[in-house]
Structure 1
Amino acid sequence: MRAKDVLGRRGEELAACYLEAQGMQILDRNWRCPEGEIDIVALDGDALVIAEVKTRKSLAYGHPFEAVGAEKLGRLHRLASAWCRVQGLRTPAPCRVDVVAVLDDGIGEPALEHLKGVG
């Protein structure tokens, strides 16, 4: 496995643990379909949350949040609808997209930031 993949998996595991600690219920992880992948699907109260996890070793190439632009947000909303269809659910209201940024240089304690309802 490539170092980038190991870093990404570690970031997703940290994000899932964090979201659970915030009271969210994890419904699915790394869900894939022909249109793409959802890192984490969770419930936050009555809200369906599609969580995109971005993990970086440093800020050398910008903050992880910067990697989630309008195109990615649009794809995540389409993926949310696809996930609901596969589950036999109508898209519940509210449904939101969150982004979890993880900075993990492999030396110190990873830093995690969570933006709710980014788009």
Structure 2
Amino acid sequence: MNAREALGKYGEELAARRLAEAGMTVLERNWRGGRAGEIDIVALDGDALVVCEVKTRRQSSFEHPMAGVTPAKARRLRGLADRWLQEHGGAPPGGVRIDLVGVLLPERGAPVVEHARGVA
């Protein structure tokens, strides 16, 4: 595993922990939708399915993690959510939501984990 992959894996671990602390149930991590890509975290929030994208950045990086989801990325996530639902029996009663968790790792101190609900 290279440094970039390790950074992403660490960020996803922090994100999964944050979602669980918020009362969500993590169903899957790193679900592969074939060539369409990957969903970082699939979770349940009550009766709503949550497809969660995780972006991790070091504080010295140019871009804030929350800026990492472009309109094209949002479309891809919606397509991946549809594919996941097809493979797992359809949408739950609460529907589907796409969330973003941004993880910012400062040079010193604790990571900053931000959770934005319904970003796409």
TM range (shorter): over 0.9
Structure 1 runs (4+) greater than 3 angstroms displaced: none
What's the CA shift for 1:105? 3.6
Q: Unaligned stretches of 5+ in structure 1?
A: none
Q: Unaligned stretches of 5+ in structure 2?
A: none
Residue equivalent to 1:81? 82
What's the CA shift for 1:59? 5.2
Are the aligned partners of 2:48 and 2:95 in contact in 1 as well (CA < 8 Å)?
yes
Cα deviation, 1:50-78, whole Å, max 9, x if unaligned, reads 00000001253221111101111111111
Cα deviation, 1:13-54, whole Å, max 9, x if unaligned, reads 000011001000001100002210000000001110000000
Residue equivalent to 1:12? 12
In 2: Cα distance, 1:79 partner to 1:59 partner: 31
Residues 53-64 of structure 1 aligned to structure 2 (within 5 Å):
53-58=54-59, 60-64=61-65
Query: What is the number of equivalent residue pairs in this alignment?
Result: 118
TM-score normalized with structure 2 length: 0.92
In 1: Cα distance, 2:71 partner to 2:60 partner: 21
TM-score normalized with structure 1 length: 0.93
What's the CA shift for 1:99? 0.2
Residue equivalent to 1:48? 49
Q: Secondary structure at the match of 2:115?
A: strand
Please tell me the root mean square deviation across aligned C-alpha atoms, in Å: 1.3
Residue equivalent to 1:32? 32
Q: Secondary structure at the match of 1:50?
A: strand
- Percent sequence identity is 49
What's the CA shift for 1:106? 5.8
In 1: Cα distance, 2:117 partner to 2:15 partner: 13
